[in-house]
Structure 1
């Protein structure tokens, strides 16, 4: 109780809000593109392949951002990498809003992707490293919640701008061009505001005490911990950090694929990839396109996308509440099972040509709800728990890379699959991938609820004997 009372909530709140803004921008930048696709395709005369590049260029940037963020974080510090990510977000939003050609538009999307990739690694890591241990899990969870809020805000702003553009027929100047004549530009303009707020707020927060200790800047690390948790907790926490650094031996990347590590690494890589092959980001990126195929007008389709975003955010709270009560496996099994049924139902509706109107929105919303309390948050929890301490950072990075590569594949080739094979086959393919994820969870993934990291590490050793 003494330690809880000593926590400086104001300082801690500033830190968490700032870092979770990275998650908000992650979600916003990922989802804002969904409302722009129909406009950009017409204005720049994009075919299916170019449309795929427009969507997936940010994902290629994400992969590059993830690849460099770990090394940059160790060299420059967590705070400076967040500054770089914030700057990239702002440059991307501004450039996309005012570019005059499809090539530069894709380039600016690539820059935004670099920011997303860096934020996806550095921001939750920063929260985990700076938060008091008794609050760490809860505070890191806010990052995932911020992503869903960012997605929802993107959907809402896209829908609002589209509705305003539909009724605005007169006017002139930049404002009319951005928010009426070429409304997709206004959708990107909105992202400039949170990017600049993030950039400013990062200057107000301290560096990670763990990174400071790693660089032998012990007094600075203790000072940061003191400002957050008081003197007594600062000294004890710094001692734990120093002991951890002293006991950590250098490991090589090839060691991840040997002995006890092979099964958990397989689970981390495959589960992360399957979470994307379930079709979640196809719906986030191409929601209006899918709904237009079901008979919605563009404005109605964007409105349906807002509903999808609200469900995505609200059902994340289900995971937050139940993950430490019922466990990881039950949430995954129930959620993936529901996702499979939803995808099959959507496939049947499109195949039978009875998907016109709001009926197709029902399986889509059910899928989003199931994903949001299972695949989405639980995947990140599992890949952060199942690896031994000496390998955890490298193994999580490899798993995260798998997720982003799968994300890029879906973004790049989904238009070709949707236009070539049709919506029915597309949803069936997603259902098959989800079915394998159900099998993987049922047969291969151990329950980690209530177990210490050392107990999980011991489990893998025993499994390999």
Structure 2
């Protein structure tokens, strides 16, 4: 493949991964602000830790909605314009979360209505996250050649983690040297407002990227699809790829479960396990975990930067190895590492030995996740669903993922009040179960085109058509 074609593919992939960056930025910005939000809203209004947990996790309600809507939008208006809608929602959420008093409330006077308004803006951003989390990897997967697809889709996870790292730096920079009073009154607003910069950049750059060839073919725009394929393949490969895509979009409209319920179930369980291992507890509540180890507020935010750097390094490892080692081995190795990390934290919590060893086990846990379940699940979700049902199936899987995320994140504070050892032990058990699930049910997908995977899937499900018969 010519360097110019590779640069073109990488260029449009990087634009799409800004959706991932905003995904990470929006979900992790709360880590620096959650303590101040508890003081500003929950404590001043006499609300429980459960209500605070719901506030911290409120964006996830929007993520569930956005995940469910992603299938409809990506099928009706296309992958590109769905991402544009997501960018607009990110922008509105950043401004509204930073200044929820706009038009209707007096600044500095918290109330139940103001808390509800803040959560509304966070939910708006969550819808953007839900849309981007489903459609960005779908977009990249449909643009990328088979030999690069694993690495390019993994770049979206890198962008998610990089977005988290950026916001860790931003939160730390805002908090550094400031009093807790200032942070609780003003500083948290700056944290949310900072998201307007990447949101606007994402919106602007999306205007210059193409739609995916597979969506264009689904809309009977083969000439436009061929134009995009010629920019990513040589002429012979472009024609062959267009032929494969057109065959996958025959005139017969297929229902969601025509390939069997098994493939949908696998996508759902991949998504649910990715959350039930407890990763977003480590990401959302990282500063508070480090504070429990005795760190000062700004020091705890700095420790999240260290964790973020480790996450970036191990995500790069996944990007480099996913098309060489394969998807399945990485997931199993990651499950083992996550179990070691979480059981280590659980053991230390049981004996109340919270200290530097806790940080070490958290880093083992997050590093294991970032080199496996973080990027590889998104790669698999972009690959395993056939062209004609990809939008619908991915929407279901992503909606389940965000529902599981919401459940885990919102229940964490209450669970910790019962027992920290129990809480982290449960996440360790889930890590073991995730590895067993992959070992038993997940096929290897590296090196195959989306259409080749579809043929194999149809064959395995016993669904026959002319293309399958010819391929077999």
Rounded to whole Å, the distance in 1 between the matches of 2:118 and 2:27 is: 15
Equivalent position of 1:117 in the other structure: 130
Distance in structure 1 (CA, Å) of the matches to 2:459 and 2:241: 25
Q: 2:405 aligns with which of 395, 407, 432?
A: 407
Give 2:176's match in structure 1, choosing from 149, 159, 163: 163
For residue 186 of structure 1, what is the aligned residue in structure 2?
Answer: 190
Q: CA contact under 8 A between 1:7 and 1:229: conserved in structure 2?
A: no
1:232 and 1:447 map into 2 onto residues whose CA distance is 27
Distance 2:427 2:135 in 1: 30
Instruction: State the partner residue of 1:378.
Output: 376
Deviates more, 1:290-299 or 1:379-388: 379-388
Taking a change above 3 Å as real, the CA distance of residues 95 and 233 of structure 1, as seen in their structure-2 partners, is same
What corresponds to 1:345 in structure 2?
344
Name the residue aligned to 1:16.
13
For 1:381 and 1:24, locate their aligned partners in 2 and report how far apart those are by CA, in whole Å: 16
Once the two structures are TM-superposed, the CA of residue 213 in structure 1 deviates from its matched residue by 2.8
The SS at the match of 1:182 is: helix
Question: Structure 1 residue 197: deviation in Å?
Answer: 0.6
Deviations 1:367-388 (A, max 9, x none): 0011111222222333444456
Deviation, structure 1 residue 332: 2.1
| Residue equivalent to 1:174 | none
Structure 1: runs of 5 or more not aligned? 170-176
Instruction: Find the aligned partners of 1:330 and 1:29 in 2 and give their Cα distance.
Output: 30
Quick check: 323-332 or 41-50, which moved more? Answer: 323-332
How far off its partner does 1:215 sit? 2.1
Pairing 1:205–2:205 present: no
The residue matched to 1:36 in structure 2 has which SS? helix
Aligned counterpart in structure 1 of residue 436 of structure 2, from 420, 428, 439: 439
The question of whether the paired residues in 1 share the 8 Å contact of 2:69 and 2:395 is answered with no
| CA positional deviation for 1:334 | 2.1
* Counterparts in 2 of 1:160 and 1:78: CA distance versus 1, 3 Å: same
Taking the aligned partners of 1:388 and 1:19, their CA distance within structure 2 comes to 21
Asked if 2 retains the 8 angstrom alpha-carbon contact of 1:6 and 1:230, the reply is: no
Deviation string 1:313-350 (CA, Å, 9 cap, x unpaired) is: 11112222333333333322222112112111111111
Shift of 1:359: 2.5
Residue equivalent to 1:60: 61
Aligned to 1:102: 115
Are 2:156 and 1:143 aligned? yes
2:182 corresponds to 1:153: no
Aligned CA distance change for structure 1 residues 388 and 121 (closer, same or farther; 3 Å): closer
Tell me how far apart the structure 2 counterparts of residues 209 and 246 of structure 1 sit (CA, whole Å): 15
Q: Once the 2 structures are TM-superposed, how far is the Cα of residue 411 of structure 1 from its aligned partner?
A: 1.9
Residue 268 of structure 1 and its aligned partner are, at CA, apart by: 2.5
The corresponding residue for 2:469 is none
Indicate if the aligned counterparts of 1:386 and 1:457 stay in contact, CA closer than 8 A: no
8 Å Cα contact 1:328-1:447 kept in structure 2: yes
Partner in structure 2 of residue 172 of structure 1:
none
Distance 2:305 2:419 in 1: 24
Partner of 1:51: 52
Deviation at 1:152, TM superposition (A): 0.9
Q: Secondary structure at the match of 1:324?
A: coil
In structure 2, what is the equivalent of residue 330 of structure 1? 329
User: Which of the numbers 214, 220, 229 marks the counterpart of 1:216?
Assistant: 220
Instruction: Indicate the SS of the match to 1:326.
Output: coil
> Partner of 2:305: helix, strand, or coil?
helix
The question of whether the paired residues in 2 share the 8 Å contact of 1:28 and 1:151 is answered with yes
For the residues of structure 1 that align with 2:117 and 2:24, how far apart are their CA atoms?
22
Structure 1's consecutive aligned runs of 4 or more residues displaced over 6 angstroms after TM superposition are none
Q: 1:431 to 1:180 in 2, by over 3 A?
A: closer
Q: Does 1:244 align with 2:243?
A: no
Written as runs of structure 1 = structure 2, the 5 A alignment for 1:37-48 is 37-44=34-41, 45=43, 46-48=47-49
Tell me, yes or no, if structure 1 residue 30 matches structure 2 residue 31.
Answer: no
RMSD across aligned C-alpha pairs, in angstroms? 2.7
More helix by share: 1
Distance 1:386 1:217 in 2: 24
| Number of residue pairs the alignment of both structures matches | 443
* Contact map agreement 1:128 1:140 (CA 8 A) in 2: yes
Alignment gaps of 5+ in structure 2: 102-113, 464-472
